[in-house]
Structure 1
Amino acid sequence: MVALSLLSLYAMSTPWVSVALMGTLERQHPVLSLEQTKAPDAIVILGGGRNPDAPEFGGDTVSPPTLLRLRYGAYLQRHSQAPVLVSGGRVYGELASEADLMAQALAQDFNVPTRWREDRSRNTHENAKYSAELLLAEERKHIWLVTQAWHMPRSVVAYEAYGVEVTPAPTAFSRHSSAKSIWLRFLPRAKNLAKSSQAIHEWLGIAYYRVMAAVAVDAL
């Protein structure tokens, strides 16, 4: 058992395994084709965490994963001119919600306005629930949903459960290093272990959502 545990730890720490695990999630929704997709009623960008008490910014700001989502969301907004909804609350009771930080970053860094701020959610399920309330109240049903490619399958399930028509707009796909040496794909690194852990977390989350839907229980 010790040997098996060490082997599993090594395998999940290699880019060969971590990219493969991420691929099981990321291949479910391809890159958005702007030329072949109808314009949305709104663009929804999901929060992906915050960088707390960042000294260079004088307080909380968006995390690197959130910034990736905002960058792509801003790109889509310029293409479509659709209004933007940002979604993210106060997971640990912070003063500013993730939605507030996201709207600030969109305005200051990308010169993109925010139409709605969904600032009550603490997880993906609540992102969908509270965003749907804001959007459907204005009869805006079709959205482009922006989040990391590995997070998209669970996000789509959550939003569609609340009657929203979702066109996935995934970003930040996992890729192997551009290095030519194939041996580097078998070199263990901490960031690859984190990716493998994230992929497993997502699959467990998807399984949980499906079980809750099957027994008609409101997932948390």
Structure 2
Amino acid sequence: MIYALKIAYTLLFPPGIIIVLLLSIALRLQQKREFIGSLLVGVAALVLCATSLPYIGNEFLQSIEQRYSPPKQFSGDVLIMLTGGATQDTPNPLTGGEGYLSPSTSARVLTTVELYRNTKLPIILSGGQVFSDTGNESQIAKRHLLALGVPDSAITLDDTSRNTKENAANAVTILNQKSWERPILVTSAFHMARAVKQFQKHKVNVIPYPTDFQTNRKQTIYFSKFIPSSSGLSTTTMALKEYLGLLGARK
């Protein structure tokens, strides 16, 4: 019964309802003997269906996330945390300001605090305001670090970067100014490979410390992994974005 409800629920909302509509259009075109149009619409429905399957999305993202693992032992002289999204004007009285960090950025903050408590290394926060209606990510992240006990003297801000390329360029400038040579890079596991490439373009070898893993190391197979869903499509989109970013980082 529960699986029947899941299927019905999926078909009522995107992308399920869109897949059903596309297949209906393809069938109608075939009945009118418009075979080319029917084929194109049918292929579009199948592609949307495949990319919306949680199993497919997890496999794609897993292939990115598994490139790096948090090292058990490491030695560095600075932590670099890349931000990844924040709201602008949502009330956040506990940290004395406005704006909330995205789930991914929050996970990176938590890992950075844990690393700081174990190493007492200085921290570079890299990430600014990306759009006119989003928050300044480093400034909001700093408020959280301060609230969690990290001293202000340990934090250096790059609050102007708008993408990973600028993250790397601006962080490297700070590294050179401070004479730091062994940076430990903290970002989401799905983002780490692209971030490492950008630092390598500046001839800086970072120590990757991925966090915010979205997939398990070993994927369990069960029925709902093969039902199209918005979460499955989102996971596939995230993975494809990182693959495209890796291609762009090679130029």
Distance 2:224 2:139 in 1: 41
Runs of 5+ unmatched residues, structure 2: 1-39
Residue in structure 2 matched with residue 62 of structure 1 by the alignment: 101
Contact 1:45–1:84, Cα closer than 8 Å, also in 2: yes
Kindly indicate whether residue 84 of structure 2 is the aligned counterpart of residue 48 of structure 1. yes
Task: Classify the secondary structure of the residue corresponding to 1:144.
Answer: strand
Residue in structure 2 matched with residue 32 of structure 1 by the alignment: 71
* Matched pairs, number: 206
Deviant stretches of 4+, over 4 Å = 93-96, 178-181
Which residue of 226, 233, 249 maps to 1:193? 233
Distance 2:134 2:245 in 1: 28
Distance 1:11 1:117 in 2: 42
Residue in structure 1 matched with residue 17 of structure 2 by the alignment: none
Contact 2:88–2:135, Cα closer than 8 Å, also in 1: no
Contact 1:85–1:116, Cα closer than 8 Å, also in 2: yes
Which residue of 208, 220, 245 maps to 1:168? 208
More helix per residue: 2
Which residue of 114, 125, 128 maps to 1:75? 114
More strand per residue: 1
Residue in structure 2 matched with residue 217 of structure 1 by the alignment: none
Kindly indicate whether residue 61 of structure 2 is the aligned counterpart of residue 22 of structure 1. yes
**CA shift in 2, pair 1:56/1:5, >3 Å:** same
Amino acid in structure 1 at the alignment position of 2:122: P
Kindly indicate whether residue 169 of structure 2 is the aligned counterpart of residue 111 of structure 1. no
Given the two structures, how large is their TM-score scaled by the length of structure 2?
Answer: 0.76
Question: What CA RMSD, in Å, does the superposition of the two structures yield over aligned residues?
Answer: 2.2
Distance 2:242 2:168 in 1: 16
Shift, 1:95, TM fit: 9.5
Shift, 1:115, TM fit: 2.1
Amino acid in structure 1 at the alignment position of 2:186: V
Residue in structure 2 matched with residue 218 of structure 1 by the alignment: none
Contact 1:62–1:105, Cα closer than 8 Å, also in 2: no
Given the two structures, how large is their TM-score scaled by the length of structure 1?
Answer: 0.86
Contact 2:126–2:157, Cα closer than 8 Å, also in 1: yes
Shift, 1:21, TM fit: 0.4
